[in-house]
Structure formats: C-alpha cells, structure tokens
Amino acid sequence: MSDIKRALLIGVDLANNKDFSIDESLEELSQLADTKGAKTIQTIIQKKDKPDHKFFIGKGKVFEIEKICIKENIGIVIFDDNLTPAQQKNLEDIIPAKIIDRTQLILDIFAQRARTQEAKLQIELADKYYQLPRLIGRTGILSQQVGNIGVRGGAGERRIEIDRRRIRDRIAYLKKEIEKIKYHRTVQRAKREEVPIPVVSLVGYTNVGKSTLLNYLTKKNSVYADNKLFATLDTTTRKVKLPSGKIVLFTDTVGFIKKLPHQLIAAFKSTIEEITHSDLIIHLIDATNPNYRNAEKVVLGVLKDIEADKIPIINVYNKCDLIKNKFYQSNCLCISASKGDKVLDLLNIIDKKLEGNMKYRKLIIPFSKLSIVDRIKSVGRIINYLPYKNFVKLTIMIDEKNWEQTKKKLNLNSKNTR
C-alpha cells in the first residue's frame, strides 16, 4: 500500500518560462509539500515546448512515473503547474497514487492553517471554485437518478447536475457571508478614521518573517509565527508606539507566492485590499533567499494589481543575522526580526516617513481641555509647549485628518488655531 506522506514532485520546464527557474520553483514546491506534511522522495523534470493536452507531461514520462511510484511506495504525486480536470483524470487512470497540482496543494495548506471564520469562508469559497469544473472527472459515468416530488430538475436529473447546483448554492452562500464580514470591516475602519491613526502594512513573500516582526514590535507572541510557508493567513492589526510617541497601526497580511491560485486571489480580495488603505507599506524581503529579486517582483506585481503601488513603500531585508555575504543593496535597511537587530532604526525611518504628511500648526488650549494633549502626542508631535495663566500655547506637527479632528474636539475657531 502506498504511503500518502511520500511525495514525488513533477516539474515541466517550458520554453516560455523566463521568471523563476524550474529548480527554484520545485524547491519551493518541496517546501509547500513539507508544510502540508509530505516528504519529497524524488523530483522529476521534463523539458517541453508546451504542455501535453492529455497528460500535461509526455506519455512515456507517465509510465516512468508509474514505475517509480510502485518501486518507491509513493502515495502522492504533485505537479508544479495547474492540471486541467481531464489531465488529472487521465493521470490517475495510470499512476497508482493521488494526483494533485500546485493549486490543490496550496488550497489544502490554506484550509489547514485557517483560524478565523473569515479565512475559513474565503478558503472554502476558493475550493468550491476549484471543484466545480472537476465534477465530471471525479464522478466518472454520469448515472441518471429518478426525480422525486420537490426535487428540482425533475425525473432523470443527473447526479452531476445536482452536485453542480449544490456547489453553486454553497458559493452564493459563502459570498454573502464574506460580504457581511467585509461590511463589518468597513464599519470598523470608518470608526478608526474618526480618530485617524496611521496604518502601516507589512507585506512580503510568504515566510519572510512578517508575523515575527509584528510580535517583536508588540513585545508579545500573540501572532502565530513558524518557519514554514503560509504559517499565518489571517490579517492581524496591532498598535505600536513609535520613538516619537506617535501611535500607529501595524497590519500583518497574508504572504504572497508565485503562481498563487487565481481562486485564492479572488477569495482573499477583500482581505488583501486592506493594504490599499495604508499610509505606508513595509516590504519585507528574506535576505537568506538567493532568489529574492524574483520574490520581490511577485510582491510588487500583486501591489500593482490591487492598485496599492502608489502608496509610499520601504524595502527592508530581514533575517540578516543568518547571512555572511552582504548581497543586498547598501542603501537598504537590513534587520533581524527574531533578534530585534536594527528594528529601532526601522521605527525611526517610519517616523520620518509619516512626518512627510504633517504640517506645523499652532493652537491655544484652555486648561480645562488639556486632556487633548495626550491625544495630540499619539497622532502627531509637540514641538513647543508654553503655559500661561489659563491656557497653553502649542506648536505641533500633525497631518490634515487629525488636525481637523483636533479642532472639532476642542471646538476651536480660527482665532485659536493657525
């Protein structure tokens, strides 16, 4: 009996593949398999001009894989590219192991890692989209069944049609539930904007250390972090105090990856789009990854797709304590999120970047309303503080949104401000 934990990886080196090398791609696939709990026993690469319409790989290679699976007790064969439902069925008819593609593997990992209700709904939605065109391949011969009273479709409705309808109904339900969560998030964001606090989004390729950095900044281990791909899927937001005293919200987002299934991009769209509401983006890059430039392109490509590429961005190299050769650019910040090396430098840079949105303002505050000073410290900077008999004169640096909110709270007119 084959062992489902023993995996064989299949990669096709296509002539038009120019971004990632096949070796890089299969190394990442092996990491994905490890995250799922499968051990890579062997890797097979075939060069082709274009995929075979029947098997994706050549027919001779299919029979070679069949023999390897029997000899090595392989339980699962993982293709690095997406298979059509017909290709998957044709391969399963010959190879004595479970056949999955990169999309199915990532969906399985996401399902395994999901913790919040929103993530679970989004992943199930992506999985239903993936299942829908594969019903024929899974069902085999489409048997007829007799319709009963109250059953839509009438007599002789095929099993495949019932399954399709059930999946479509489930998709409709999942979409409604996700929209409810999206609406709730919009309401929360609107409440936050009543007292505007700058939002800094952490983005990066999967497993670059975003959750580790957020845990260090908050001095807590409240965000799950592990040295595996897609350790966390849920968007997490935490308050962090900058060296100037300003309070900002740091948001940790799901990691990106090349060949991210389009079903997942669609399902996680509302979550990923949270990045578009940021004041600043921290692009974390794994300094230990020799293919970091390609990973950068993937991340920047996603930011462009969601129209977040116009937001100010800081490139930060992480895991620098693990490398000897300083191959990264000298003008970029290099940190260790796990040890805290240079993290204070990063916070100072964030402080200066956010100051770019601020202007000098002067105002007079009566002693009876001095409690507002603490709020000003959290959203701006006090440059000068001059106390008088019944009031204080302040010179501050503050952005436009918080300036308007401050004036409203103090009910000040133009005589008290400028």
Q: Which domain holds residue 135?
A: 114-186
Residue that wins the pLDDT comparison between 347 and 226: 347
pLDDT, average across residues 334-355: 91
H-type alpha helices, 206-324: 210-218, 262-267, 269-272, 292-305
Kindly provide the residue ranges of all beta strands, DSSP E only, lying in 178-242, ordered along the sequence.
199-204, 236-241
Residue 47 is assigned to a structural domain of this protein:
yes
pLDDT of 137: 45
Lowest mean pLDDT among 13-27, 35-49, 160-174: 13-27
The residue with greater pLDDT, 174 or 134, is: 174
In a domain, 192, yes or no: no
User: 243 and 383 share a domain?
Assistant: no
Do residues 224 and 274 share a domain?
Answer: yes
Retrieve residue 409's tokens.
């709270």
Cα–Cα distances (Å) from 377 to 321, 370, 393, 396, in that order, read 34, 12, 15, 9
Tokens of 139: 């069902």
Lowest mean pLDDT across 124-128, 182-186, 223-227: 223-227
What CATH number is attached to the domain comprising 235? 3.40.50.300
Fill in the amino acid letter for 418.
R
In a domain, 191, yes or no: no
Query: Average pLDDT over the chain, rounded to whole?
Result: 82
Which among 164, 186, 208 is the end of a domain?
A: 186
- Residue 31, in any domain of the structure: yes
- 418 assigned to some structural domain: no
Contact 248, 200 (CB under 8 A): yes
Whole-prediction pTM: 0.73
Among 354, 371, 392, the domain-final residue is: 354
93 and 220 belong to one structural domain: no
Report pLDDT digits (tens) over 65-80: 999 999 999 999 999 9
DSSP assignment string, 360-395 = EEEEEEEGGGTTHHHHHHHHSEEEEEEE-SSEEEEE
Q: Which residues pair with 333 in a beta bridge?
A: 316
Identity at 57, one-letter amino acid code: I
Residues 234, 119 contacting (CB under 8 angstroms)? yes
Residue 415 included in any domain: no
> What's the domain count of the chain?
4
Cα-based distances in Å from 112 to 123, 124, 178, 230:
10, 11, 19, 10
Span 371-416, pLDDT tens digits: 888 888 877 788 888 988 888 898 888 877 778 878 877 776 555 5
Q: Are residues 26 and 42 in the same domain?
A: yes
Of 68, 88, 110, at which residue does a domain stop? 110
In angstroms, the CA 44 to CA 67 distance is: 13
Q: Is residue 416 part of a domain?
A: no
Q: Are residues 101 and 120 in the same domain?
A: no
Residues 218 and 348 in one domain: yes
Q: Are residues 241 and 345 in the same domain?
A: yes
Query: Are 340 and 384 in the same domain?
Result: no
Question: Is residue 249 located within the same domain as residue 281?
Answer: yes
Handedness of CA 156, 161, 163, 165 (dihedral sign): negative
Write out the H or E segment, with its range, that includes residue 227: none
Q: Do residue 56 and residue 158 come from a single domain?
A: no
What are the two backbone dihedrals, phi and then psi, of residue 299, each rounded to the nearest 5 degrees? Answer: -65, -45
Domain of 102: which CATH number?
A: 3.40.50.11060
pLDDT by residue (tens digit) across 122-146? 889 989 988 888 875 444 433 344 3
Taking alpha carbons only, the member of 359, 361, 280, 257 closest to residue 35 is 257
> Quick one: 206 and 350 in the same domain?
yes
Q: Is residue 215 part of a domain?
A: yes
Residue 330: the pLDDT is: 56
Q: Which helix (H) or strand (E) holds 257?
A: none
Question: What are the residues whose beta carbons fall under 8 Å from the beta carbon of 41, sequence distance 6 or more?
Answer: 6, 7, 8, 72, 74
How many Å apart are CA 356 and CA 232, to the nearest integer? 32
The Cα–Cα gap between 410 and 228 comes to 50
Instruction: Give the model's pLDDT for residue 151.
Output: 42
Same domain, 11 and 154: no
